[in-house]
Protein backbone atom coordinates (compact mmCIF):
# COMPACT_ATOMS: atom_id res chain seq x y z
CA UNK A 1 0.00 0.00 0.00
CA UNK A 2 1.32 3.43 -0.97
CA UNK A 3 0.73 6.15 1.62
CA UNK A 4 0.61 9.70 0.28
CA UNK A 5 2.05 12.47 2.43
CA UNK A 6 -0.26 15.15 3.79
CA UNK A 7 2.45 17.80 3.70
CA UNK A 8 5.65 18.38 1.76
CA UNK A 9 8.82 20.03 2.99
CA UNK A 10 11.50 21.45 0.66
CA UNK A 11 12.88 17.97 0.01
CA UNK A 12 9.37 16.80 -0.89
CA UNK A 13 8.98 19.68 -3.33
CA UNK A 14 12.28 18.73 -4.99
CA UNK A 15 11.07 15.15 -5.40
CA UNK A 16 8.01 16.59 -7.18
CA UNK A 17 10.32 18.51 -9.51
CA UNK A 18 9.96 21.91 -7.86
CA UNK A 19 13.50 23.21 -7.48
CA UNK A 20 12.98 26.98 -7.46
CA UNK A 21 14.66 29.19 -4.89
CA UNK A 22 12.81 29.99 -1.68
CA UNK A 23 12.51 33.65 -2.74
CA UNK A 24 10.80 32.55 -5.97
CA UNK A 25 8.34 30.35 -4.10
CA UNK A 26 7.53 33.20 -1.69
CA UNK A 27 6.92 35.54 -4.65
CA UNK A 28 4.67 32.96 -6.36
CA UNK A 29 2.73 32.42 -3.12
CA UNK A 30 2.12 36.16 -2.75
CA UNK A 31 0.88 36.33 -6.35
CA UNK A 32 -1.36 33.27 -5.89
CA UNK A 33 0.69 31.24 -8.37
CA UNK A 34 1.69 28.53 -5.88
CA UNK A 35 0.04 27.05 -2.76
CA UNK A 36 0.83 28.91 0.44
CA UNK A 37 3.18 27.41 2.99
CA UNK A 38 2.37 26.78 6.62
CA UNK A 39 4.56 26.27 9.65
CA UNK A 40 4.63 23.62 12.31
CA UNK A 41 7.04 24.89 14.90
CA UNK A 42 10.00 26.25 12.95
CA UNK A 43 9.52 23.92 9.97
CA UNK A 44 7.84 24.99 6.73
CA UNK A 45 5.48 22.74 4.76
CA UNK A 46 3.09 22.86 1.82
CA UNK A 47 -0.20 20.99 1.58
CA UNK A 48 0.64 17.95 -0.58
CA UNK A 49 -2.78 17.83 -2.24
CA UNK A 50 -2.65 21.54 -3.12
CA UNK A 51 0.80 21.10 -4.68
CA UNK A 52 -0.42 18.04 -6.61
CA UNK A 53 -3.42 19.99 -7.91
CA UNK A 54 -1.16 22.91 -8.86
CA UNK A 55 1.15 20.62 -10.85
CA UNK A 56 -1.84 18.97 -12.57
CA UNK A 57 -3.16 22.42 -13.57
CA UNK A 58 0.24 23.36 -15.01
CA UNK A 59 0.37 20.07 -16.90
CA UNK A 60 -3.14 20.61 -18.33
CA UNK A 61 -2.30 24.17 -19.39
CA UNK A 62 0.89 23.01 -21.11
CA UNK A 63 -1.03 20.28 -22.95
CA UNK A 64 -3.35 22.81 -24.60
> How confident is residue 52, by pLDDT bands cut at 50, 70 and 90?
very high
8 Å CB contact between 61 and 55: no
Parse the chain into domains and list their residue ranges. 7-63
> How confident is residue 64, by pLDDT bands cut at 50, 70 and 90?
confident
At residue 45, the pLDDT reads: 98
At residue 2, the pLDDT reads: 76
The yes-or-no verdict on residue 44 having pLDDT over 80 is yes
Distance between CA atoms of residues 45 and 63, nearest Å: 29
8 Å CB contact between 46 and 55: no
> How confident is residue 16, by pLDDT bands cut at 50, 70 and 90?
very high
Amino acid sequence: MHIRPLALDRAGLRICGIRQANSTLIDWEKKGLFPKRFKIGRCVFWDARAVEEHLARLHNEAAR
